[in-house]
Amino acid sequence: MKVLVTGGAGFIGSNIADRLVVEGHEVVIVDDLSTGFRENVHPKATFYRLDIRDPGLAEIFEKEKPEMVNHHAAQIDVRKSVEDPMFDAQVNVLGSINLIQLCAVYGIKKVIYASTGGAIYGEPEYLPADEHHPIRPLSQYGITKHIVEHYLYLYRYNYHLNYTILRYPNVYGPRQDPHGEAGVVAIFTEALFRGKRPTIYGDGTHTRDYVFVGDIVEANLLAMERGDGQVMNLGWGWEVSVNEIFGTLKNHLATDIEPLYVPERLGEIHRICLDSTKAQKELGWKPQVDLDEGIQRTVEYYSKRQSEAC
């Protein structure tokens, strides 16, 4: 099958694209490289450097004629969405509408959409949050990611465009950008390798549901054949604090460096973890890589990258 992966030079998208190639699919990647990296693109994939808002996206559909779309291109930074909500909406909403319209016009079999479980529910009324939890995002990012879910429902109802929506937890692992604003595991790891004190916003008791990128890739592969018209959380269903993440990294790197605590930032929720019972039922998916193993794999990746850079 020919699959178009938007954001396929980014952290999660490139890992998915690699797996698709391994599974024998033909992969086309669209990425503007604003946060992705050309070296992440699999050599067997066809690559187009393009913003998903660009009208030229239609030419790629016309030329490549993909059968399925995996949509990961987005403005992913919660803080940037707060600082520049217009840009956040332009990329996440208008860019997605441009893509979805083309999917309908060109008869795409299915869209797999990366939504957010970490930012969509706001401060939770109960944990773990399931798909029936009220939607009350506290950041512009959470709002724009949720809006696209409504567009996909609309296009399925009116134009028979099939989809599966995956609401992500905090994803970590190889290729996450340690110089970005999102992804504490990568950011902390890079800082510790450099002998610097990582910054923790707030007192470190904020919790998230951390899932290794390989498990997220598996969910995307399963969604190609299952979960039609469904919205599903991905997650372990338990909370892990920022302090716990730092402590685990500190142990793996055998360092005595302590973090620097600074005031928390606007738009950040305090607690979240996700009930993935529906994904278990609809996709047959469960996360497999526990936090200790996942952090070990991540540390090994960045250690190797550090060695190659020297």
For the question of residue 157 being annotated catalytic, the response is no
Give CA–CA dist 20/243, Å, rounded: 35
Q: In 52-125, at which residue ranges do the beta strands (DSSP E only) sit?
A: 68-71, 110-116
Q: Where are the strands (E) in 161-280, listed by range?
A: 163-168, 170-172, 199-201, 207-208, 210-212, 230-233, 240-241, 260-262
Query: Tokens for 116?
Result: 């957010």
The contacts of residue 22 (CB under 8 Å, 6+ apart) are none
Which CA distances in Å does 305 have to 174, 175, 301, 302? Answer: 10, 10, 6, 5
Q: How many CB atoms lie within 10 A of CB 54?
A: 15
Q: Which residue is catalytic, options 141, 163, 168, 172?
A: 141
Active-site positions read 141
